[in-house]
Amino acid sequence: MSRADSFSIDEQYMRMAIDQAYIAEENGDVPIGCVIVHENRVIARAQNQREQLQDPTAHAEIIALTQAAEAIGSWRLEGCTLYVTLEPCPMCAGALVLGRLARLVYGTDDPKTGAVKSLYNIVQDRRLNHQLEVTGGVMADDCRAQLQAFFQRRRNENLNL
């Protein structure tokens, strides 16, 4: 498979993650979406649900990891690729390492809490027992615009109170 073919496949799955992010937004949560793929098949789809569940750990990645483990019958998610619209935070990056995923593909960087590139690089830290292949910046402009529009609307709503 050429790099161009790989990128188009990455875009296809990132579009699915963006669709999940819209569901989060419709439910009043920060629009972050995630899908997990195993053997060219989507085995998990999730979105942020912190507001809906009132659970600080209800990040899209964590929910998707639970779904994926159930789908394949193992917590070892070897051979899986996780697609997420925003660079994972430390909690989620740690969970990806613990789940032993093969690959992470994310949309836009997170300069405030990113734990893959921006602040830390947990998923490729050689001191840990597992590292992931990482591809960042897939559909970054779309992912960033979705988040920026959400937070701009929130700021405008707060001004109008």
Instruction: State the burial class of residue 18 (Cβ atoms within 10 Å of its Cβ: 0-12, 13-18, 19+).
Output: buried
Q: Is 51 a catalytic residue?
A: no
Q: Is 137 helix (H, G, I), strand (E, B) or coil?
A: coil
Tokens of 149: 């529009």
What residues have CB less than 8 Å from 115, skipping those under 6 apart? 87, 88, 89, 90, 92, 93, 94, 121, 122, 123
Alpha helices in 73-109 (DSSP H): 90-98
Its sign, for the CA torsion 92, 109, 101, 69, is: positive
Do 60 and 84 meet the contact criterion of CB atoms below 8 Å apart? Answer: yes
Catalytic residue among 25, 26, 51, 61: 61
Active site residue ranges: 61
